[in-house]
């Protein structure tokens, strides 16, 4: 069975492709190497995947309908995991046009061409950020959506477009809302990597909201195991699924765990709350457990330990030292 993964050079896409290949699928990877952060790191991820059997990669922008159509005609994928998007919260306020063009228009192009080419399963990776700030926890899939930034608003828009378009078709549409994904090969703007980078350089680390943000962390390998298990689950009524550990923790309690495994502390400066960010994420995963038998989410200490070890080994090559992120 052939699977198309958009955004395969990205953090989650990289891990998802590895998981799919391990399970025996043929995988077509697609990415445009956007400039949100240096393409050097993305190309390195892809180079590792290309060493594996049954992986094919094409550099394609989802705004290019002709190129997408050619890809479908050549490879004939039966399943799509649509992960490609313009990431970043702060940058979305400065450049909303890029988010609309890449996230919304790109999704529409992919959706039309996929349906025209008789796709069987279309799996869209949305985000827990679509919920916005809440007073009642844990957050269920039926909770109201009040996104706080352009990135989250485009994810909400894509969800609606896909639901409306595929509603009266035989396509198996599933929409996943992952909560705060972390792990090895993470984006350089993610908090664990930023903190480790500042620590290694003995630089000041800004801790926003005085470290009182609460996050429901999900280890990337857990996420990818769950995503691939849904392939064998046929069309269901509950086509929007939270993916989360349901174990919320304050950011300021995370940093000492990183310090423990890193044997070094960063210079931390407390900063106020930043606009566009959720104060607390705490998802309800009962619907997930209804469909997927997932014994145990990776303990946050184990996930951090793996991430710290990867960062320190990987960064001996200084690859992440020169990766600039747009803000």
Residue 257 lies in a domain: no
Domain tally, the chain: 1
The answer to whether the CB of 178 falls within 8 A of the CB of 128 is yes
The predicted-structure confidence for 257-313, as pLDDT tens digits, reads as follows: 999 999 998 899 999 988 889 999 999 999 999 999 888 999 999 999 999 999 998
* Residues labelled as active-site residues: 151
The predicted-structure confidence for 162-175, as pLDDT tens digits, reads as follows: 999 999 999 999 99
Write out the two tokens for 182: 């972390």
- Position 19 pLDDT exceeds 60: yes
Residue 87 lies in a domain: yes
Residue 180 lies in a domain: yes
Residue 232 lies in a domain: yes
Q: Which three-class secondary structure string do you get for 222-256?
A: HHHHHHHHHHHCCCCCCCEEEECCCCCEEHHHHHH
The predicted-structure confidence for 188-219, as pLDDT tens digits, reads as follows: 889 999 999 999 889 999 999 999 999 999 99
The answer to whether the CB of 14 falls within 8 A of the CB of 3 is no
Residue 202 lies in a domain: no
Nearest residue to 127 (alpha-carbon basis) of 101, 165, 92, 172: 92
Which residue segment(s) compose the domain that 164 sits in? 2-184+217-246+281-298
The predicted-structure confidence for 102-122, as pLDDT tens digits, reads as follows: 999 999 999 999 999 999 999
The answer to whether the CB of 86 falls within 8 A of the CB of 140 is no
Residue 207 lies in a domain: no
The predicted-structure confidence for 214-261, as pLDDT tens digits, reads as follows: 999 999 999 999 999 999 998 888 899 999 999 999 999 999 999 999
Q: What is the mean pLDDT of the chain?
A: 93
Nearest residue to 102 (alpha-carbon basis) of 121, 87, 117, 89: 87
Between CA 209 and CA 274 the distance in angstroms is: 7
Between CA 288 and CA 226 the distance in angstroms is: 9
Residue 287 lies in a domain: yes
Residue 197 lies in a domain: no
The answer to whether the CB of 170 falls within 8 A of the CB of 295 is no
CA 222 to chain centre: 12
Output the pLDDT for position 233: 92
Write out the two tokens for 312: 């320190």
- Percent of residues, the chain, with pLDDT higher than 90: 81
Lowest model confidence (mean pLDDT) among 8-22, 29-43, 127-141: 29-43
Whole-structure pTM value = 0.95
**What CATH number does the domain containing 84 carry?**
3.40.50.720
């Amino acid at each position: 069975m052939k699977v198309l993964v958009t955004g395969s050079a990205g953090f989650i896409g990289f891990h998802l492709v590895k998981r799919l290949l391990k399970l025996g699928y043929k995988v077509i990877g697609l990415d445009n190497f956007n400039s949100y952060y240096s393409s050097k790191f993305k190309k390195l991820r892809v180079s590792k995947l290309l060493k594996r059997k049954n992986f094919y990669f094409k550099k394609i922008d989802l705004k290019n309908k002709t190129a997408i159509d050619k890809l479908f005609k050549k490879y004939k994928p039966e399943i799509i995991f649509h992960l490609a998007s313009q990431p970043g919260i702060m940058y979305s306020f400065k450049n909303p046009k890029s988010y609309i063009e890449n996230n919304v228009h790109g999704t529409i192009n992919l959706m039309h061409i996929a349906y025209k080419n008789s796709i069987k399963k279309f799996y869209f990776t949305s985000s827990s950020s679509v919920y916005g700030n809440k007073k009642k926890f844990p957050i269920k899939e039926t909770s109201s959506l009040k996104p706080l930034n352009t990135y989250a608003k485009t994810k909400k828009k894509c969800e609606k477009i896909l639901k409306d378009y595929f509603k009266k078709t035989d396509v198996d549409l599933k929409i996943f809302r992952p909560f705060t994904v972390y792990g090895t090969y993470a984006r350089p703007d993610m908090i664990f990597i930023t903190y480790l980078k500042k620590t290694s350089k003995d630089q000041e680390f800004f801790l926003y909201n005085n470290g009182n943000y609460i996050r429901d962390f999900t280890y990337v390998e857990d996420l990818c195991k769950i995503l691939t298990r849904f392939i064998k689950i046929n069309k269901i009524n509950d086509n929007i699924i939270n993916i989360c550990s349901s174990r919320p923790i304050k950011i300021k309690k995370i940093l000492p765990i990183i310090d423990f495994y890193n044997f070094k502390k960063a210079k931390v400066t407390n900063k106020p709350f930043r606009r566009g960010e959720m104060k607390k994420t705490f998802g309800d995963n009962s619907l997930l457990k209804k469909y997927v038998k997932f014994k145990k989410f990776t303990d946050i200490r184990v996930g951090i330990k793996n991430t710290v070890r990867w960062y320190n080994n990987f960064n001996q090559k200084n690859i992440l030292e020169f990766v600039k992120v747009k803000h």
